[in-house]
Chains A and B, each alone.
Chain A
């Protein structure tokens, strides 16, 4: 297991113009193929860390080191579905391919496949406003996965959904990630969601944001709802909660 990490964050410092120290002394390795949750309270800098990995912002000091020298192709899912309202579901999913210069007739089958993967095969011609919140989020996931990226970044994607929809999307996401062998970095503030989804949890402390503890979840990658009721699930949840408590106790300011 001494494989080089897919991406490593080394001694990251990030300050905003307002003077807030969002990240301080952040070290984190992301391993090939894992489902890593960044767990922490709101405002602890976990989304900022995700944006650094995506290349959407630059650290003030420290480095984001990619195993292959540069950032690979990524998929990104925001907290909101972030669809283009003026065009159909299919054309929304087509966007990443279109931006790569792929023509529609070459992309159509891949778009169909991505939509079928999230259970929206019959909705290619619908417009985003005609869909429910959960279905919009599915479109957003299909868009992120249509290029079959080796790395998927998700920023609290299910936070605004009801619990029933969220559980269903949790299961489908696990199945898709396993099927595509995608590495996933998943930002969440839900202990239970992080335990259910992850192969590893990185617990964040706030002000400045940094990882205080990582927890390995050694259950099979594809899980079903009975895992939520298993004794090991509550053990992991208890450990993660304790780590969160310890992290908030370790608050510097």
Chain B
């Protein structure tokens, strides 16, 4: 039939374009990865050179090589602390994801529920954690208080983004579901949740970074009171002892953790959205 031919020839064009595009994207990605890595390595080299040439003592500014040495030497202490910080971050993140998505679904059920509950979420969001942390430390076990802090900061981005996603479903598709007399739960499962996925993932990426920040900030507050064993506590402790290389080593671990969390969620989002959403890399022509 003629339409089959039309469809076939129409498909050949994009496929050829796609190949050219894939090669271009591959080159772009190489530059995207190699360039920042080179700049980063150059910055470290410069830092090393300045410290050596000016003979800056390690208790003022340790060279990258000294920091790396400390990382290896103190690994048993630092890795234990890293594990504590990591587990707090992920527990908080899981709780924030479950809670945020559940509340977003609840809010999407009716405008009235949304009106009633959203102010609470916003109050929690705009209050800086560092200000709540001492109160939580009075009320709760230090380890629980740190977890609650991290949860509070990670919760809102998941809630706000998922709620926005649930509300921005294509209204023609909503009409279509109504035409086929689909019950509400089917509309939620087959339509609203999938179309909220890109929003949810961008919320999750923000929440991942914030959970780490929340955990660190709360640990700093708790650590000042002589509690906790996470990375933030190691920083405070090393500061008291003027063990600056260890401070930097702990700081490097926190940065690496943040990068890993961001990378993990970006990869997760690409995995789920790769074939349909523009945010997941592929160029739309």
B190 touching A56 by the CB < 8 A rule? no
A74 to chain B: closest residue by CB: B179
Alpha-carbon separation in the docked complex, A168 to B190 (Å): 32
Q: Would you list which residues of chain B between 1 and 34 have a CB under 8 Å from chain A?
A: 1-4, 6-8, 10-11, 14
Interface magnitude class on chain B: 20 to 34
Residue B194 CB within 8 A of the other chain: yes
Alpha-carbon separation in the docked complex, A135 to B179 (Å): 23
B190 touching A86 by the CB < 8 A rule? no
Q: Tell me whether chain B's interface is mostly helix, strand or loop, or mixed.
A: helix
Q: Would you list which residues of chain A between 68 and 87 have a CB under 8 Å from chain B?
A: 74, 76, 78, 80, 82, 84-87
Tell which of B4, B170, B180 has the most Cβ of chain A within 10 Å: B180
A130 touching B284 by the CB < 8 A rule? no
Q: Would you list which residues of chain A between 133 and 159 have a CB under 8 Å from chain B?
A: 134-135, 138
Question: Which A residues lie within 8 Å of B6 (CB)?
Answer: 119, 134, 168
B194 touching A99 by the CB < 8 A rule? no
Q: Would you list which residues of chain A between 109 and 143 have a CB under 8 Å from chain B?
A: 118-123, 127-130, 132, 134-135, 138
Residue B178 CB within 8 A of the other chain: yes
Q: Which of A80, A121, A123 contacts B172 (CB 8 A)?
A: A80
Alpha-carbon separation in the docked complex, A181 to B277 (Å): 38
A119 touching B178 by the CB < 8 A rule? no
Residue B265 CB within 8 A of the other chain: no
Residue B252 CB within 8 A of the other chain: no
Q: Which of B1, B172, B182 contacts A119 (CB 8 A)?
A: B1
Residue B44 CB within 8 A of the other chain: no
Question: Which B residues lie within 8 Å of A49 (CB)?
Answer: none
Q: Can you list 14 pairs linking A and B with CB atoms under 8 Å apart?
A: A74-B179, A78-B172, A78-B176, A82-B170, A82-B173, A84-B195, A86-B197, A87-B276, A96-B180, A99-B181, A129-B284, A130-B14, A135-B7, A138-B7
Interface residues of A (CB under 8 A from B): 54-56, 74, 76, 78, 80, 82, 84-87, 95-96, 98-100, 118-123, 127-130, 132, 134-135, 138, 168, 172
Interface residues of B (CB under 8 A from A): 1-4, 6-8, 10-11, 14, 170, 172-173, 175-182, 186, 190-191, 194-195, 197, 273, 275-277, 284
